[in-house]
Amino acid sequence: MAIMLSEGASSSSAFERGWIYDVFLSFRGEDTRRSFTGFLYHGLRQRGINVFIDDEKLRRGEELSLALLGAIEESRIAIIVFSQNYASSTWCLDELAKILECYKTRGQLVWPVFFHVDPSVVRHQRGSFGTAMAEHEVRFKGNVEKVQKWKKALFEAANLSGWTLENGYVTNSTKHLFYSPVFPFLFMCLFLLLCFIMHG
């Protein structure tokens, strides 16, 4: 089960466009909940952006809840925070697959953020992503289709325009390199989101 933690948000922009939420955040809690994703969530909420963020303590079983699947479908933008242990979570991978489905069928915007992870590692499932997928192949050896769906989703998401944050430097989809500590980077994301949601 998941919950929407935006009681203080008063944005009507999502409703005006037929969406319930402005932003859905997909992330690995143990990696970024108390750092990047947490700051991003609170920054968006303080600026009136209607954000859906799940509560890992309420997760049960192996499958995504209908509430979480519905939240993904009803969000205008999905921000995927790829971090070191993202692929080790089957929940994150199921979220990712659903997000890519909505990207193709509902016109959802998908913005990947590569948090101390190179996009090529995600794209080709190397390093920690390769290790995680190898473990999933063993665990789900009776469901090859599921694992292939996750691999395809990782590949496709890593090819989308987004931002890479590595050692204090940020690169965007144009490969422009510039120094940006975490907080300025967060505010850059917030500014772009606000510009799109309010004027896009």
- How many other CB atoms sit within 10 Å of the CB of residue 32? 23
Which is it for strands 163-166 and 169-171: parallel, antiparallel or unpaired?
antiparallel
φ/ψ (deg, to 5) at 137 = -65, -35
Residue 177: its pLDDT value, please?
Answer: 42
For residue 59, the Cα-to-chain-centroid distance in whole angstroms is: 17
What are the tens digits of pLDDT across the range 135-165? 999 999 989 999 999 999 999 999 998 888 8
With 0-12 CB in 10 A as exposed, 13-18 as middle and 19+ as buried, what is 160? middle
Domains delineated in the chain: 13-199 (3.40.50.10140)
Cβ atoms 47, 190 nearer than 8 A: yes
For the annotated catalytic residues, the residue numbers are 95
- Residues facing residue 78 across a β-bridge: 24, 110
What are the tens digits of pLDDT across the range 64-106? 678 888 999 999 999 999 999 999 999 999 999 999 999 999 9
Percent of the chain with pLDDT over 70: 69
Cβ atoms 193, 44 nearer than 8 A: yes
